[in-house]
Amino acid sequence: MKEIKKITCIGAGYVGGPTMSVIAQKNPNVIVTVVDLNQARIDAWNDADLENLPVYEPGLDAVVADARGRNLFFSTDVEKAIDEADMIFISVNTPTKTYGKGKGQAADLKYIELCARQIAAVAKSDKIVVEKSTLPVRTAAALKSILDNTGNGVNFHILSNPEFLAEGTAIVDLHNPDRVLIGGEDSAAIEALVQVYEAWVPRERILTTNLWSSELSKLVANAFLAQRVSSINAISELCEVTGANVDEVSRAIGYDSRIGSKFLKASVGFGGSCFQKDILNLVYIARSYGLTAVADYWEQVIILNDHQKARFAENIIQTMYNTVNGKNIAFLGWAFKKDTNDTRESAAIYVADHLLEEEAHIVVYDPKVPAEQIYKDLDYLGTRSSEDNRRLVTVVNDPYEALQGAHAVAILTEWDEFRTYDWAKIREEMKKPAFVFDGRKLLKRDQLTSIGFDYYAIGE
């Protein structure tokens, strides 16, 4: 296999952008071009002001500053980039289908198929095609079939190289991965991709498997992580009625080295583009093979997560004397976790929707999420008109403005800055009794109650 000199990545999103930036940073002799159909997104990646990158990730600006213009390029010329590349990563979005068979469960592969057809149409030399997006098992086989049947007689080798980075820590995860997983059938193609990663990842942390194991491992890793969150969230409800404290339970069980301490933080519910989508995929595959018990088992992780979000909203309503109609509820945080501007499947969206059904007035402050995105997320649900969403929801750029005159504060994202606020001053400005509903267990109960807040946290 010849040495890889040019890499192209199709899709400049949360996965493609940061991953390729690090690959380029660590392989200065490889030209890495990231392409996307979305001109505005590419312009933002090329913006001289690194504050304007389309993805907010701590440390990403420094990596881009290192490599951009040297051997890292962002462009909308998809065909040219495909033509020139030795290796093509596919990193386009694979949302859950919103129509037809598998609606609400199966992944929508139309963007992947479009990419495959475009690669086949353009390629005039052999290519290694790498699946980076999370995909249902056996997508590689479909990719191969499209490439082989519509191509110009050149050879395509398909590899699966799932991404394990978590948003908010993407650069640390990419610089120091627990493992890199490469699935494939052709040993020379696998070796070519191993070499790209070996530029900075120790060889023993690069695992190689067959294609299907690699594809399935990605879904299973996310399903196991999400299952831990749902497991501890289930226990949080039990803690609330028994007088146990879920943080103490997490700590006690996490000390057992067989269980481990990570992903045991009770919350208002997990979000993000991966957990729900990947479990739905797993459930869909299991059901399509008639494995009902397996499908039901994993589906419960999502059912519990939905329950946790609804329960948090219901608790707000009940505590505020069974009505939030016309009351001001300040939302601190909208992103699905801290240190990202990504809001996909964020618990905040569903909690807000629930409260808006009761005609609450919500004022949102998030350090990184712009107002348009918040309205887009609510409009996408289709629960009410976009006029009503704008009538009931206000977005502000100053947290103290959100809290001014509020009847209650709900903490939806664990941004560190929320801890540093002057909570005594905030209480003075709020309606009394002043309620705090802490969906992230971020603040200190003793401190808030001594100031005079009515403080509620998950699992206490």
Q: In the complex, which residues of this chain contact ligand ADP (CB under 6 A)?
A: 10-16, 35-38, 41, 78, 91-93, 111, 114-115, 133, 273
Q: Least Å distance between CB 268 and ligand UDX?
A: 8
CA distance 306 to 310: 6
* Binding residues with ligand UDX: total (CB under 6 A): 19
Report the SS3 class of residue 373: helix
CB of 277 to ligand ADP, least distance (A): 10
Type of residue at 277: K
Q: Phi and psi of 131, rounded to 5°?
A: -80, 120
Q: What is each CA distance from 82 to 39, 90, 309, 430, in whole angstroms?
A: 17, 11, 43, 57
Among 16, 272, 333, 439, binds ligand UDX (CB under 6 A): 272
Stretch near ligand UDX under the rule CB under 6 A, chosen from 32-40, 260-268, 297-305, 316-324: 260-268
Is 270 one of the binding residues for ligand UDX (CB under 6 A)?
Answer: yes
Query: Shortest Cβ distance from residue 307 to ligand ADP (Å)?
Result: 26
CA-nearest of 92, 188, 175, 179 to 134 is 92
Judge whether 412 and 439 are in contact, CB under 8 Å: yes
Q: Which long-range contacts (CB under 8 A, 24 or more apart) does 395-401 make?
A: 395/363, 395/364, 395/365, 395/370, 395/371, 396/363, 396/364, 396/365, 397/365, 398/365, 399/332, 399/365, 400/426, 400/429, 401/363, 401/365
Q: Residue 256 CB, nearest distance to ligand ADP (Å)?
A: 34
274 is a catalytic site residue: yes
Closer residue to ligand UDX (CB): 86 or 438 = 438
Residue 264: name its binding partner from ligand ADP, ligand UDX, none (Cβ under 5 to 8 Å by kind).
Answer: ligand UDX
Quick one: what does residue 235 bind among ligand ADP, ligand UDX, none, with the CB cut-off 5 to 8 Å set by partner type?
Answer: none
CB atoms closer than 10 angstroms to residue 80: 14
Q: Is 275 helix (H, G, I), strand (E, B) or coil?
A: helix
Q: How far is the CB of 336 from ligand UDX (least distance, A)?
A: 4
220 in contact with ligand UDX (CB under 6 A):
no
CB-facing half-sphere around the CA of 160: CA atoms within 13 A: 28
Catalytic residue check, 9: no
Candidates 30, 219, 235, 274: give the one binding ligand UDX (CB under 6 A).
Answer: 274
Annotated active-site residue 218? The verdict is yes
Nearest of 402, 385, 386 to residue 394 by alpha carbon: 402
Which listed option, ligand UDX, ligand ADP, none, makes contact with residue 270 (CB within 5 to 8 Å by class)?
Answer: ligand UDX
* Chain residues that interact with ligand UDX, rule: CB under 6 A: 163-167, 222, 225, 229, 263-265, 267, 270-272, 274-275, 336-337
Q: Which residues are catalytic?
A: 163, 218, 274
